[in-house]
Amino acid sequence: MSSNPVTPLLDTVDVPADLRKLAPGQLRQLADELRAEMISAVGSTGGHLGSGLGVVELTVAIHYVFNTPDDKLVWDVGHQAYPHKIITGRRDRIRTLRQGGGLSGFTKRSESEYDPFGAAHSSTSISAALGFAIANKLAGNPGKGIAVIGDGAMSAGMAYEAMNNAAEAGNRLVVILNDNDMSIAPPVGGLSAYLAKIVSSRPFLELREVAKRISRKLPEPLHKAAKKTDEFARGMAMGGTLFEELGFYYVGPIDGHNLDQLIPVLENVRDAAEGPCLIHVVTQKGKGYAPAEASADKYHGVQKFDVITGEQIKPAATAPAYQNVFGETLAKLADSDPKICAITAAMPSGTGVDKFAKAHPDRAFDVGIAEQHGVTFAAGLAAQGMRPFCAIYSTFLQRAYDQVVHDVAIQNLPVRFAIDRAGLVGADGATHAGSFDITYLASLPNMVVMAAADEAELVHMTYTAALHDSGPIAFRYPRGNGVGVELPEVPQQLEIGKGRIVRHGTKVAILSLGTRLAEALKAADQLEAKGLSTTVADLRFAKPLDTDLIRQLMTTHEVVLTVEEGSIGGLGAHVLTMASDEGLTDAGLKIRTLRLPDLFQDHDSPDKQYDAAGLNAPHIVDAVLKALRHNSAGVEEARA
Ligand SMILES: Cc1ncc(C[n+]2csc(CCOP(=O)(O)OP(=O)(O)O)c2C)c(N)n1
């Protein structure tokens, strides 16, 4: 035990202005305390751990050197911003991370003036920081735009589109490339190899070299003096050509955990550079926490865990995760079908493509964070007779919408879209919710859109998609584990555009799409108890609609209600359009559509989110009773 305990510094730092009062020699201690605080907090909440641990020193250094919040600091993805939140006035709420009413797991404008730009989807930071920089330039303000972007996020085209456009910003734009040689999975592709080459081919940059490097943009006499030295010439020869060609001053690589190096380099860039600067910082994901450093994914995302052992507290799974049902089914199908291949955009384990890749490595493609490329690449494969499955989360497929329309749907190419994380996703919140895919896909000519009601249905839909060579087809399924139904030994080919009746009734018909089926069946029980005979159909297809089934139910039932885990414009809109086109509402049929509300829902547990969205059994009962003008019966009665 130390006889001379060190006074905690973190308690004295509420906001960056407090941090700037510390002496440089105190920053190491502060960083250590910040790291410990982050580990303790995430141990109690779960969330993104490895990425934040890797940027503790960088976080301290940036806020120490730059004038935040006037200088706008934009964290790419935002999943590494927990240390940033702790020292920007949110330490008292850090143990509410990702919980209902608590702090977001990403940066969020409404949360703090130190989060000038919200994120969660990757590779947007340079564009946004450039926007801040140019706006300041136009207004004559001194503030800079600072983007911190990971090597994984650098695999996306958008980062290059922004860099290509950056010269305008002058020294108001600073890009910090946080190179930890990891995406969620190991990074892929040429850029990753390029960065590795720079890092391995030269030692970490000496301070002297940074100064010389930047002096290239110093006033002319100084510049000339510097130019005379051999060292300057050596400085000129360092790596980073790619970034230089894009108009950046490349500085690096530097050790992102060494504050003695980080602080002066950032100061140099702040004070001396004239053009946009890219600082290549090398960090270690999971740094400073042994269980994270030792794990294969560096604890990218974790459940709550025991801080001493690092052991995560995982709820016992009662059924397989949807993504694994998909990956394993596809791997089996590919055993006898050499044309099947699988594409993931940097999410091999999240999408189950890792299972496929194990069995068929030559037909599995991780394209990096490049959803747009992934979709058009799949279109090319399909045009050449392959059967590509693009496994992309609903929210990330949004980024590739034009590719879906222009490269796939217009050409009627049989690309299969396995759309994971459909519907509300819980702790990741609005940015990750899979709310829109039914709407944005079912509006496209040629497209077939299915939604799985459970994991057995997912097996059938994967098989159905494999056999569907006549055009594009998509099937969606939620985050998390299945409902526990038995998986079929032999998958069934579903007839395109045909639903199924799961329960027969006479007065009320619930048309369900996707995994709300369980809630629809619960609601049917409750309605039955009130004497309202209820049919439940699992439509399976949002497009093409099973018009025969829907027409039959509409002409034999008094109330028809649609339920879906998607936004306005999806199944409900298509059913209403069909009903009005065919005049089915003319005879007084009551139609109601239950769908996600027209707002971006904040993070919470999925159950609570669905409750807030009005998509649980009591809401279905309530909607039916109201439609039948039992208006006194509300959700409370339905719950009873
Ligand atoms: C458009 C998009 N696709 C996929 C993801 C999922 N995702 C979140 S973080 C991440 C890896 C990011 O790697 P990197 O930028 O190197 O940051 P690190 O976690 O290593 O710090 C991925 C693929 C995303 N956020 N956005």
Q: Where are the domains of the chain?
A: 10-302, 322-476, 500-639
305: confidence class by pLDDT, cuts 50, 70, 90: very high
**Buried/exposed code over 545-571 (b: 16+ C-beta within 10 A; e: otherwise):** bbbebbeebbeebbbbbbbbbbbebbb
- Secondary structure class of 580 (helix, strand, coil): helix
150 lines ligand 1 (CB under 6 A): yes
For ligand 1, pick from 48, 53, 183 the residue to mutate: most ligand atoms within 8 Å of CB: 183
Is 399 assigned a catalytic role?
A: yes
Cβ contact 52:7 at 8 Å:
no
**Per-residue model confidence as pLDDT tens digits over 428-485:** 999 999 999 999 999 999 999 999 999 999 999 999 999 999 999 999 999 999 999 9
**Per-residue model confidence as pLDDT tens digits over 190-206:** 888 888 877 777 666 66
CATH superfamily membership of 10-302:
Thiamin diphosphate (ThDP)-binding fold, Pyr/PP domains (3.40.50.970)
Distance, in Å, from the CA atom of 276 to the CA atom of 233, rounded to the nearest integer, reads 21
Nearest to 604 by CA among 93, 121, 80, 105: 105
Largest CA distance in the chain: 94
Put simply, whether the predicted model's pTM sits higher than 0.95 gets the answer no
Catalytic residue among 399, 416, 479, 540: 399
Fold of 500-639: Rossmann fold (3.40.50)
211: confidence class by pLDDT, cuts 50, 70, 90: low
Is 285 assigned a catalytic role?
A: yes
10-302 and 322-476: same fold?
yes
367 lines ligand 1 (CB under 6 A): no
Distance, in Å, from the CA atom of 640 to the CA atom of 634, rounded to the nearest integer, reads 10
Is the four-CA dihedral 417, 422, 426, 428 of positive or negative sign?
A: positive
630: confidence class by pLDDT, cuts 50, 70, 90: low
Distance, in Å, from the CA atom of 472 to the CA atom of 403, rounded to the nearest integer, reads 12
Nearest to 279 by CA among 291, 261, 260, 292: 261
What is the Cα Rg of the chain in Å? 27
**Buried/exposed code over 459-473 (b: 16+ C-beta within 10 A; e: otherwise):** bbbbbbbbbbeebbb
Indicate the average pLDDT of the chain: 92
CA-nearest residue, atom 22 of ligand 1: 184
Distance, in Å, from the CA atom of 299 to the CA atom of 293, rounded to the nearest integer, reads 8
CATH top class, domain 322-476 = alpha beta
Separation of first and last alpha carbons in the chain: 60
The confidence score (pLDDT) of residue 7 equals 84
